[in-house]
Amino acid sequence: MDAASQPLEGALAGLRVLDFSTLLPGPLATLLLAECGAEVIKIERPDGGDGMRNRAPAFGGDSAAFALLNRGKRSVAIDLKLPSARAQLLPLLESADVLIEQFRPGVMERLGFGYDSVRAVNPRLVYCSITGYGQAGARAERAGHDLNYLAEAGLLSLAAGADGAPAMPAGPVADLAGGSYPAVLNILLALERRVRTGTGCRLDIAMADNLFPFMYAALARGFAADDWPAPGPGAWSGASPRYRCYRTLDGRYAAVAAVEEQFWRNFCAAIGVLPAAASAGAVAAVIATRTAAEWERAFAGQDVLVSIVRTVEEAVRDPIVQAEGLFRRTVSAAGRSMPALPLPVAAALRTPAGDATYPPLGEANALLGPAP
């Protein structure tokens, strides 16, 4: 096998990451790093570990969600409150390149693992903290979850139902888009800077703050014209007939995104309505006359920007998605396997491992130093 055809180790091979986080934002961030070849070591409580291990449904003795989020990682089980914990973790702290934690501000300091304390033994460490509101300020100590961050950033107000109530998000937008992805972005930038400076740094990832870029259009209106969007349907949340979902005859929905004029005219021609008369009501009345399958056939091959709203199962099993290999990687445990999370990382940067397991609690405790 020549060098060009040999499988790569992954873009982050050789890096060691200590993951003190639990549940979703931090673990997804470290999953991305692990998929690129970094050695990720989860630091977990001995009494049950990461709370995600206990979620239903079960997979391999823990949970399917935990398996998906922690594929390819290792696990150390240690009580951080014990006086011996710091001495036992010292070898890992000294050798780590990245540390991720998502406790409330001040917790890591009280446990003896604050940034200043850890930097004293490893000045090259990139130390990343993920919280709802950041490490300082009036909101720093406030507890919160995804819905709280969306509400306080104003993003939740931009989509509302017919009764005016904010539409509930279908996924953890703040956790992922405001937490996991910004964390990985900043970690990679900090590692690049370390190449030039030789030193690490402290990263403060505030999920609520990182939601504002999603409202670029609303901010542009407000800042430039003092025209702040009122809560309720807007141009991108159902107010425009060109960008909304319409119910079909069989109770499914067609998602229309014909914003630009040429697409709108194509769409109107396809449903037999004049553009000047194509109000939301008029379009809804026409879409309601056929089933989703009938509309899908009618729109096939036409530049109309219409998609039938699929279930998750339909989306996963779509022949085109299957052909693209989006779910070709797997996670396995106890004789079972399932598709791994498809991650937004180019194939050239990832490890070649098509299948990997997730770590049993404490399987890597041999990496700990001796208790004093």
Residue 278 near residue 268, CB atoms below 8 Å: yes
Give the CA count within 13 Å in the CB-facing half-sphere of 128.
Answer: 32
Candidates 121, 104, 95; CA nearest to 18 is: 95
Q: How many other C-beta atoms are found inside a 10 Å radius of the C-beta of residue 370? A: 8
Query: How far apart are alpha carbons 292 and 284 in whole angstroms?
Result: 13
Residue 40 near residue 105, CB atoms below 8 Å: no
Candidate list 79, 145, 250, 303, residue with the active-site label: 145
Q: Find the Cα–Cα–Cα–Cα dihedral 186, 189, 195, 199, rounded to 10°.
A: -30
Query: How far apart are alpha carbons 170 and 164 in whole angstroms?
Result: 18
SS3 label, residue 101: strand
Query: How far apart are alpha carbons 237 and 231 in whole angstroms?
Result: 11
Candidate list 50, 97, 146, 175, residue with the active-site label: 175
DSSP secondary structure string for all residues of 340-355 = PPP-S--GGGS-S-SE
Q: Which single residue is written with the structure tokens 């006359």?
A: 289
Query: How far apart are alpha carbons 142 and 290 in whole angstroms?
Result: 50
Decide if 163 is catalytic.
Answer: no
Decide if 355 is catalytic.
Answer: no
Query: How far apart are alpha carbons 78 and 273 in whole angstroms?
Result: 66
Candidates 304, 303, 287, 289; CA nearest to 245 is: 287
- Strand ranges in the chain using DSSP code E only, listed in sequence order: 16-19, 39-44, 58-59, 62-63, 74-77, 98-101, 126-131, 201-206, 243-247, 253-257, 306-308, 330-333, 336-339, 355-357
Catalytic residues: 145, 175
